[in-house]
Amino acid sequence: MVDMAIHPIEFRYGSAEMKSIFEEESRLQRFLDVEAALARAHAAVGNIPKRDADTITKKASVKFVKVERVKEIEKETKHDIMSVIKSLSEVCGRAGKYVHLGATSYDIVDTANALQFKEALAIVEKDLRDLEKALLRLAKKHIKTIAIGRTHGQHATPVTYGLRFSIWAMEIKRHIERVSEVKKRVLVGKMSGAVGTQASFGKKGIRIQKLVMKDLGLAPAEVSSQIVQRDRYAELVSILALIAATLDKIGKEIRNLSRTEIAEVSEKFEEKRQVGSSTMPHKRNPINAENICGLSRVIKSNVFVALENVSLEHERDLTNSSSERVIIPESFILLDEILKRTKNLLKNLALYPENIARNLEMTGGIEMAEAVMMGLTEKGMGRQDAHELLRKLSIKAVKSKKPLKDVLLKSTTIRKYLSESEIDKLMDPKNYIGTAVEQVKNVLARR
């Protein structure tokens, strides 16, 4: 029978680099790495002969312990880690009696998890740094590209694309900081035994745990039950979801700005071969941005499961085990996919100056009402009076379908305060972007 892939991760999403961390053989190797480190720690404290620890270390490899053999034993034992222990013991000869000495299953599982987190977070960090650089390049390139700002889906006042890109860049920078910060809480392993007392390790338990974690490049848990406490994992998954939420935000904005009636930006479209629709030949859909938004929903939904896993019963129950087999690799692999898609999307993002200018001018100057209001206050009119006056004149401009400037020029109240040249200056969008350019320069200077 031919093996058939079921989850899209298997054939559609995620880089080979990220997926390799969570493949069966790789995970088995991490279990073996922990078992070997445990044997070396026992030898260091005099619990077992060094030659036997050396044998276990040599044989703790997927070259000797095969996934197929582990699965074969698991069919009988119905226990995954016991199957690893038996498989390793088989190839270690007389040294096999020292495999897994004093440990409980989740001493191995949780410490192996931390090793996987270490590798996976390194990939996430690199992608985030690349993404931050891409956004800063765009911010610099478009530091003075003026566009209409939108609030509540309506035209507001002018903004710059440089400011938009720098806002996203700083959000990504905060995620880099979060990933760096969380490492001290999730790159943690343990050797604590069945309920956390280390009774099975005797009086040398604390030293054995320290030796194992130092060997593996992890921090030892200060205290634990049978498991590393799942608030750590919930924080990790939450950070992955936060990153996904930012990518969703970027994807959604690009999708909206790509709308036919807006058309300020677009994704790269391979004109020779790419198809937008199976029935509409003209379509050029923002498929990467849509993919980013769609997969982010899966990652965000995994936070609920991670939070549920925090409140296990007593020293632990098994309800976290099955769900973590799903949410941890899924969250990392899908985040890896949308991080790389976002980088590619921004690298090939096209901006259309003529459409940006068209949209900026679309409402006949209504978007500059605030600027005129502020100009009036500088001339001595009360702010509230100026606001009410511009509110009424803006309504009049919309109803009469006339440019706001024409309506302003006919207002005797306005003309008491402002000349036509002053009105022209106030209604020029490039004169009403505040400190946007300076803010972007400050962001760029931090790099």
Q: Is 321 a catalytic residue?
A: no
Q: Helices marked H in 154-230 — which ranges?
A: 161-186, 205-216
Burial tier of 82 (Cβ tally within 10 Å: 0-12, 13-18, 19+):
middle
CA nearest neighbour of 184 among 250, 117, 248: 117
R_g (Cα) of the chain, nearest Å: 30
Residue 77 neighbours by CB under 8 Å, 6+ apart: 83, 86
User: Which residues lie across from 220 on neighbouring strands?
Assistant: 189
Q: Which two tokens stand for residue 22?
A: 């969570």
User: Which residues lie across from 265 on neighbouring strands?
Assistant: 351
Torsion of CA 245, 246, 247, 249, to 10 degrees: 90
Q: Is 142 a catalytic residue?
A: no
- CA-CA distance, 353 to 264, in Å (whole number)? 7
Run of H or E residues at 56: helix 50-59
Which one of the listed residues 152, 278, 419, 421 is annotated catalytic?
Answer: 152
Residue 300 neighbours by CB under 8 Å, 6+ apart: 241, 244, 245, 248
Q: What are the C-alpha distances in Å from 107 to residues 142, 337, 346?
A: 52, 31, 43
- CA-CA distance, 381 to 418, in Å (whole number)? 11
- CA-CA distance, 337 to 128, in Å (whole number)? 12
Q: Helices marked H in 258-279 — which ranges?
A: none
Residue 75 neighbours by CB under 8 Å, 6+ apart: none
* Pairing mode of beta strands 154-160, 146-151: antiparallel
Which one of the listed residues 180, 277, 311, 400 is annotated catalytic?
Answer: 277
**Residues tagged active-site:** 152, 277
